[in-house]
Amino acid sequence: MDQNEAPLLDALADYHRLDRYGFTPPGHRQGRGADPRSLEVMGSDPFRSDVLSTAGVDDRKSSGGYLSKAEELMAEAVGADKAFFSTCGSSLSVKASILAVTKGSGDLLIGRDAHKSVVAGIILSGLQPRWIRPQWDRDLHIAHPPSPEEVEKMWQRYPDAAAALITSPTPYGTCADIQKIAEICHSRGKPLIIDEAWGAHLPFHDRLPTWAMDAGADICVVSVHKMGMGFEQGSVYHLQGSLVDPVRLSQCADLLSTTSANVMIYAAIDGWRRKMALEGQAALEKTLTLAGNVRTGLDALDGLHVLGPELVRAEASHDFDPLHILIDVSELGISGYQAADWLRDKCRLDVGLNDHRRIEATLSQSDDDKTTARLLEGMRQLIDAAPDMPEPAKVELPAPEDLEMETVLLPRDAFFGPVENVPAEEAAGRIAAEQLTPYPPGVPAILPGERINAAVVEYLRTGTAAGMVLPDPADPTVKTIRVVAHQRDQ
């Protein structure tokens, strides 16, 4: 195939060139009726390109086949058998993948450091999660992807499970030994799903961690908006081999997705694939060099430590993506929450992941010396300002074993059954009926169906007091927790 082509982009260009007009949604009619203030703030271009996919960019029968051609080009560019575009984020793609490998009931092996969208897939599917222990770093309080040995152990305990699902890279950039894990799954004839939401760029440079399809995974989900350069919500799920039925997979996505896909999200994925296929290796080479310089520059600043080698070692992860710049600010006597708030307030800089002692900046190919100079300058100013900041509130960090609570009820039953809200101090021993997820990174500390323990409640209570954000529980302040009502909780 000719990777120079971008069929969706070309079709959108034709739509404009031919002056098509639809008596169809979207009702703003390419901006004609849009709110003037919206036009002033966003410009007219987003409205102009917001057109229908079928009976819009393509005809009512999709006879141009632009979307499927764009997906074929993507699959070829990254070496998958098939690629499917989604406009509902990896959140949809992981749910569709979970539904596709199961038959509506049974077990699924999942690394416990899974994103909340994976848990949502478990709740919706009614499956029994069998949690695979991640590699906990007790000193850094970080979970790395599970080792192949842990995966093998879980297959021995649950040989009938439908599949295994592993997150790699994690939001910290640490990666699993996907090749070995895939071999273990395949020796039992079972598929491996990799949640590679943070790995859209991996196929396009040989010095980045191995991309899941090359390592033998069956399904791999990526967010194009995270480490790629598409619009928010753009995701691709890739498939290879014969263990997962492609029709089932796309029909499961169809169950969950919108019938009004945003063409701009599709077109941006198409354009990004074209750019990466043509110049990804060279562009990423520059970004890797930039990342190396930024890492060295930040690490040389007094009071900062950029995590690197300690994230890749026998008891930690198999590999690491250096574009995740994870900065420990604890020596400054402040928390990651304080650092993130201060950088936004005083330097107009936002960072991604933040926790009791770290912040993380992710670099993309859009960054250059100018953008990273802002980061370095912001961090220098933060170092100067830190002595005047209040002492951070102490977060009571649980031991890894405390984070592995027993799942005593199917997450679906716990979530949808009768619930009650109890004071947090009375929650220990009760079965959770909701997710409580520190965000970012979005890995739930408590899941529906788990028997809550006091250490995790204390972590979340002290965490929120220190600046942690929990977007999903009924009471984000964690004064109360939603648990399974007593008559079902035995």
Among 30, 90, 135, 354, binds ligand PLP (CB under 6 A): 90
* Shortest distance in whole angstroms from residue 285 CB to ligand PLP: 25
Among 195, 355, 367, 489, binds ligand PLP (CB under 6 A): 195
* Shortest distance in whole angstroms from residue 240 CB to ligand PLP: 20
Task: Kindly tell me which of 58 and 195 has the beta carbon lying closer to ligand PLP.
Answer: 195
* Shortest distance in whole angstroms from residue 88 CB to ligand PLP: 7
Q: Which of residues 426-465 bind ligand PLP (CB under 6 A)?
A: 442
- x/- mask, ligand PLP, residues 144-183, rule CB under 6 A, reads -----------------------x---x------------
Task: Kindly tell me which of 86 and 453 has the beta carbon lying closer to ligand PLP.
Answer: 86
Task: Kindly tell me which of 125 and 167 has the beta carbon lying closer to ligand PLP.
Answer: 167
362 forms bridges with which residues in the sheet?
324
- Applying CB under 6 A, the site for ligand PLP has a residue count of 13
Q: Is 115 in the site for ligand PLP (CB under 6 A)?
A: yes
- Measured from each CB, the residue nearest to ligand PLP is 89
Q: Are 366 and 229 contacting, i.e. CB atoms less than 8 angstroms apart? A: yes
* Shortest distance in whole angstroms from residue 76 CB to ligand PLP: 23
Q: Which of residues 197-216 bind ligand PLP (CB under 6 A)?
A: 197
Q: Is 135 in the site for ligand PLP (CB under 6 A)?
A: no
Q: Is 316 in the site for ligand PLP (CB under 6 A)?
A: no
Stretch that binds ligand PLP, among 84-92, 247-255, 445-453, 456-464 (CB under 6 A): 84-92
Q: Is 97 in the site for ligand PLP (CB under 6 A)?
A: no
* Shortest distance in whole angstroms from residue 423 CB to ligand PLP: 31
Stretch that binds ligand PLP, among 89-97, 290-298, 308-316, 379-387 (CB under 6 A): 89-97
481 forms bridges with which residues in the sheet?
422
Q: Which of residues 222-251 bind ligand PLP (CB under 6 A)?
A: 223, 235
> Interface residues with ligand PLP (CB under 6 A)?
89-91, 94, 115, 117, 167, 171, 195, 197, 223, 235, 442
